[in-house]
Each structure stands twice: as C-alpha cells, then as structure tokens.
Amino acid sequence: MSYISVQGLCKHFDVRQKREKGSLLRKKERVQALQDVSFDVEQGELVGYIGPNGAGKSTTVKILSGIMVPDSGVVSVGGLTPWENRKEHVRRIGVVFGQRMQLWWDVPIADSYDLLKDIYRIPDSEYRQRLDELTEALDLGGIIRTPLRQLSLGQRMRAELCGSLLHRPELLFLDEPTIGLDAVSKLALRDFLKWENREHGTTIMLTTHDMEDIAALCSRVMVLGHGRKLYDGDLSELLGRFDRLRTLSATYDRAPEVPELPGAERVDLEGETLKITYSTDKMEIGTLLPLLQKAGGIREMTVQPQNIDHLIAAMYQEMGL
Amino acid sequence: MNAYYAIFRLRRRLETQYRGAALGGLICQVFFGLILIALYRALYAGRPQDMPLGHVVTYVWINQAFFRMVLSSDPELLDKIRTGGIAYDMCRPVSLYGFYYARLMAQKIMGTFLRGAPMIVIAALLPKGWGISLPASLPGFLWAAAAMLLGLLCVCAMENITMGFTMRTLDSRGMQAMLNLLMMLLTGNVLPLTLYPDSWQPVITALPYAQMLDAPIRLYTGIYAPETAWLILLRQAAWVAVLVCAGSLMWRANQRRLVIQGG
C-alpha cells in the first residue's frame, strides 16, 4: 500500500446564513468541501496541491493531519488512520499553517523549540544535532535568541518551519508557506524544502497559490476544485494542455509596417517593437518568421510563453471553477 | 522533561514578564479590599452579625489575594480557539486537555503569587480590625494550604469547562460573562459565603465553587475544625474528579466535531 492512501474522502460544512426577513429560523447552507477525493502518495514524494480559494485544500490537510474528522472515506498514512490514532500519527508528521503561529509570541524562539523538544520527547543529543542542522540550513543563527514578535515575516516563517521539523517528521504538510514572503525569502525557502526532501527523504505535501512554488518544487501536482479532484499528474503535462499562447516581440531597426498576420490573436506596435500574441494551435513560428522578416531588418527577438498564473487561471476557467 | 511540565514552566515564566499587570492588579485588589472592609465595618457598627468581624476581614483579604487564581482567563488561549491557532496544538502528541490544564495552572499560580504574596504582607501590616488575622491554629493553616491546592485544581478544571464551551460557541464573552457571575457569587468574592443565611449553607458549601476558596478560608479561620478537615478535603477532591472527568469528556467530544475555520 502507498504511504498515504486516501479513498473516497467526503466532508461537508454547514454554513449559517443570515436570517431572512420575516423568517424565524436561520437557514443553514450545506457546503460540500470534499466530494469523493482519492489519491495515493509514495514516501519521498513532493506533491503540490493546488486549486482556487475554497477548493478544499486546507480541509484535506486538516483531515490528513488528524485534526478534523471526515464524513466518510478511508485514509491511511503510514498504516495509521489520522483521526483514530491521533497521537501516534502526529508524532510522525510536521505541519506548517502559513497563516497561523506555533511559536510563542513573547519568548525567544529557542525557548519555543525547547518546549517542542519536550512535547515530542526528542533525546538531547539528537535535538542538538537537528537544531544545529536546521539553524544552519534556515539561517537562524542570528535570531534564535530573539523573541518571535521582533522578527520579520520571512524570518518568522523560517523559524516556524524549523519548529515543524525538529522532531524529524517523515511527512510534512505545508499550507501556503510562502504567503507574504519577499522574493529572496521565497527562493531560500524553496531551496531548503528541496534540500530537506533530498537529504532526509521527507515526504512533502504543499498547498499554495504561488505557481512558482509548485514549478520549482513539485513534479507531481493535484488540482482540486469545488471539492473534487480534477487532475493528478505531471505539472508540465498539465501546463502543456493549456499552454498555447505565446507572445513574440520583434524589435526592428526602424518602425516597420504592420504586416498582415492571419491567425494572430493580437498585434501591437510599440515604437520599433512589434508584439504578436498567437496561439500555437492556430499559427506556427515557421510561417510567422518569414512574414516578419519581410517587414524590415530585425534587431532583436524574444518569444515568451504565458505567465504561469495566467495559465492556471485559464485552466480553472476551462474546468469551470 | 514531561511535556505538561514543560508547558507549565514556559507559561509560568511568561507570566513573570507581565510585572506591570501584576502591580496594577495588586493596587486594584488592595483598593477593593479596603473598600469592602470599610463597608463591612459600617454594617457591623449598625448591625453586628453572628460571624466575628475579624473573620470577615480575613475572608476578604484572602479572597482579594487569590483573586487571580479564581477570576482570570488566559487571553492567548481564548484567542487561539477563536482564530484557529489551536490547530497547531491539536497536531501535538499530547492530550489537549492536559496540555491546556497545565498551562492554565502555571498562569494562575504565578499570577496569584505575584499579586497575592505582597498583598498578604500589606494586609498583615494593617491595623487591627482592618488587617488579616493569623490562622486559627497551625494544623488549621496546614489543612488550609492543602485545601488551597485542591481549590486550584478545581478552578483549573472549571476553567477548562468554560473553554470547552468557548470551543463550541467560538466566542468566549457571552459564556464567560455568565460563568464569571456564578464564580464571583458562589466563590464568596462578592459576599463571603459565611455571611449567607444559615439555611443556605448546606447547599452553598456543597457546590464546586465553594471548594475553590471558601473551603481553604474556613479552614484558615477555624470555622471548619482541623479534626474534620479531611472530610472537607475529600469533598474537594471529589469535585476535582468530577470536573476533570466532565471537562475531558467534553473536550474529547469537541475535538471530534471541531472545525478549524478560515483556510
């Protein structure tokens, strides 16, 4: 059996509505957060879990981490049912909720770590070694004696991540870990996650809205929408399905005549630069190039694929999300 | 180190950081104590009661000194429940009930110590008729100290039940306002339980609230004789057992139906 095995997972919430005028009862609306979701994850995999807001990503993470009980479905993580064997289960997992805090606000982060050491009963020598390793990998050396409240968001996220990994979890859930981080912090965090995965074989499940995170980290991606699993597989293959639009920019010696380009989605002339947006299924670069060369001497040319966020937006749209 | 002891230590240390709050609490409680005693003195001047005035004054001071033990909640904990920060604590290989119990206990012990110790000193220095009296006897004092410990366990168990309700309603204010009222009335904070009518006494002293502060105070002032003190402690222990069982059952049920909201 796979390391994580999820079969037919369902979960609904009752959301209370505001009382309507003239009615005494408040209506409850039933929201199906997860509808028959099934998947398997092998040990050591790095899986991205994406979907628009409200798709059911966090609900899945909460169920898999043992803090929420589903309506129905069978879940096994390393042979245990998370919500049935909560204590044994959580000992082996680490969780980072990007929008919440586990470290104590008013005390130095080292003290929060000491508490975690006692909670997970990590032996002294192992704890020292792991803390040194994480301090170095996450560059926490300068701030370990600083209270959490004095850290920047990026520092805080690194500190939180360290806290979730002290007990060497074999499975790590990351719920939007790069939310609000600057570019440098994001890159550092991604490098670290790759390192942790490679070095210790930690299985990582990542939910995020940042497609760069997914592209940088995950070879496998699952797409969730309206509580259903819509895609499970290779990221490049998924993108390939929707990745048709290209933008070609050609800069001429002097402003060219705009050529007739049948099949192009859009043609703009900005000074000496001609920008053409086309779809690969309607137009090929081989037929496009000669037409462009006729218009004048080309000094510089780039072809760009669509921004990954646009791709995902197009994909969500096509999937009816 | 045991996880529960570890969180106890960290929370206790954190409490010592809030020295300003402790000083404010001390001043406030001394002020309240003086006003209440002035009121009782006026009452006794007009219409003396069965209970000696010295007992009432002592009752008031002990009540004020241990105010923090009975009437306080951990705002951080309530916030965790309200905003979903509790999710992290649910991912720990510990009993959530025990974990929070230890945390509350640390806050109550340290918070009470910081306010109560100087207050007892102040109350002991006040002139006769205004200040706290010595315990009725040495055994009485020792029994009272033991009873105070059981009282603390009782308070923490009750507080955990309040939090259990908060987990259901997600807003602590309504439930807390109600439970605090019961707490203030029935622990003897508003009016010493010894001043309630005699016919009420059997009922009022049997309630869990009377086990928190009233029982230790009565042992201290000698209203409960040291010879039968073990019966009082037995009653306290029984209530601790009942409240802890009720609380942990409630928490277990809560954990199964809890929804961490907000993504």
DSSP 3-state assignment of A2?
coil
Q: What is the ipTM of this complex?
A: 0.84
**What is the reported pLDDT for B260?**
62
Q: Is residue A261 a contact partner of residue A284, using CB atoms and an 8 Å limit?
A: no
**What is the reported pLDDT for B172?**
66
Q: Which residue has the higher pLDDT, A148 or A238?
A: A148
Which chain A residue's Cα is nearest to B81? A100
- What is the percent of chain B with per-residue pLDDT over 70, rounded to a whole number? 96
> Does residue B181 have a pLDDT over 80?
yes
* Closest CA of chain B from A317, distance in Å: 22
Q: Is residue B111 a contact partner of residue B22, using CB atoms and an 8 Å limit?
A: yes
Residues 6+ apart with CB under 8 A from A55: A224, A225, A226, A227, A321
- Over A100-157, what HEC string results? CCCCCCCCEHHHHHHHHHHHCCCCHHHHHHHHHHHHHHCCCCCCCCCEHHHCCHHHHH
Q: Is residue A288 a contact partner of residue A276, using CB atoms and an 8 Å limit?
A: yes
> Does residue B259 have a pLDDT over 70?
no
| Partner residue opposite B87 with nearest CB, options A67, A83, A114 | A67
Q: Using a CB–CB cutoff of 8 Å, tell me whether A78 touches chain B.
A: no
| Partner residue opposite A102 with nearest CB, options B5, B88, B259 | B88
Chain A residues with CB under 8 Å of B90 CB are: 66-67
- State how far the alpha carbon of B246 is from the alpha carbons of A189, A237, B243, B251, in Å: 45, 55, 5, 9
CA separation for the pair B4, B9 (Å, rounded): 9
The single-letter code of the amino acid at A162 is C
Q: What is the per-residue pLDDT across A159-173, written as a single tens digit (0 to 9) for each?
A: 999 999 999 999 999
Q: Is residue A34 a contact partner of residue A60, using CB atoms and an 8 Å limit?
A: yes
Residues B243-249, mean pLDDT to the nearest whole number: 95
Enumerate the domain spans of chain B. 2-256
Q: What is the per-residue pLDDT across A64-101, written as a single tens digit (0 to 9) for each?
A: 999 889 999 999 999 999 998 889 999 999 999 888 88
Q: In the beta sheet, which residues pair with residue A267?
A: A276
Residues 6+ apart with CB under 8 A from A184: A154
> Does residue A151 have a pLDDT over 70?
yes
* Closest CA of chain A from B127, distance in Å: 41
How many CA within 13 A on the CB side of residue B25? Answer: 23
**What is the reported pLDDT for B18?**
81
* Closest CA of chain B from A116, distance in Å: 8
CA separation for the pair B161, A161 (Å, rounded): 33
Residues A287-313, mean pLDDT to the nearest whole number: 83
**What is the reported pLDDT for B64?**
92
Structure tokens at A141: 């050396």
Q: Using a CB–CB cutoff of 8 Å, tell me whether A132 touches chain B.
A: no
User: What is the edge-to-edge ordering of all strands in the sheet holding A28-41?
Assistant: A28-41, A4-16, A72-77
> Does residue B249 have a pLDDT over 90?
yes
* Closest CA of chain A from B6, distance in Å: 6
Chain A residues with CB under 8 Å of B88 CB are: 95, 97, 100-102
Do A101 and B83 make contact, defined as CB atoms within 8 angstroms?
no
Give all strands (DSSP E) within chain A, no chain letters.
4-16, 28-41, 46-50, 72-77, 93-97, 171-175, 203-207, 220-225, 228-234, 245-252, 264-270, 273-279, 298-305
Do B6 and A68 make contact, defined as CB atoms within 8 angstroms?
no
Q: What is the per-residue pLDDT across B9-50, written as a single tens digit (0 to 9) for each?
A: 999 988 888 888 889 989 999 999 999 999 999 999 998 888
- Classify burial at A18, counting beta carbons within 10 Å of its beta carbon; exposed 0-12, middle 13-18, buried 19 or more: exposed
The single-letter code of the amino acid at A170 is E
Query: If pLDDT is split at 50, 70 and 90, which confidence band does A134 have?
Result: very high
* Count of CB pairs separated by less than 8 Å, A with B: 74
What letter would DSSP give residue B211?
Answer: G
Residue among A83, A15, A32, A25 at smallest CA distance from B257: A83
> Does residue B246 have a pLDDT over 70?
yes
Structure tokens at B61: 């001071």
Chain A residues with CB under 8 Å of B6 CB are: 114-115, 118-119
Residue among A117, A132, A188 at smallest CA distance from A157: A188
Chain B residues with CB under 8 Å of A107 CB are: 10, 13-14
Residues A247-274, mean pLDDT to the nearest whole number: 86
Which chain A residue's Cα is nearest to B7? A115
Q: Using a CB–CB cutoff of 8 Å, tell me whether A102 touches chain B.
A: yes
Q: Which residue has the higher pLDDT, B137 or A314?
A: B137
| Partner residue opposite A106 with nearest CB, options B2, B14, B260 | B14
Q: What is the per-residue pLDDT across B118-173, written as a single tens digit (0 to 9) for each?
A: 999 999 999 988 999 999 899 999 999 999 999 999 999 999 998 888 888 767 67
Do B87 and A62 make contact, defined as CB atoms within 8 angstroms?
yes
Q: Which residue has the higher pLDDT, A216 or B241?
A: B241
Q: Which residue has the higher pLDDT, A295 or B5?
A: B5
**What is the reported pLDDT for B261?**
57
Indicate the length of chain B as a whole number: 263
**What is the reported pLDDT for B144?**
95
Structure tokens at B127: 């002139």
The single-letter code of the amino acid at B138 is L
Q: What is the per-residue pLDDT across B51-95, written as a single tens digit (0 to 9) for each?
A: 889 999 999 999 999 988 988 778 888 888 887 888 899 899 999
**What is the reported pLDDT for B72?**
77
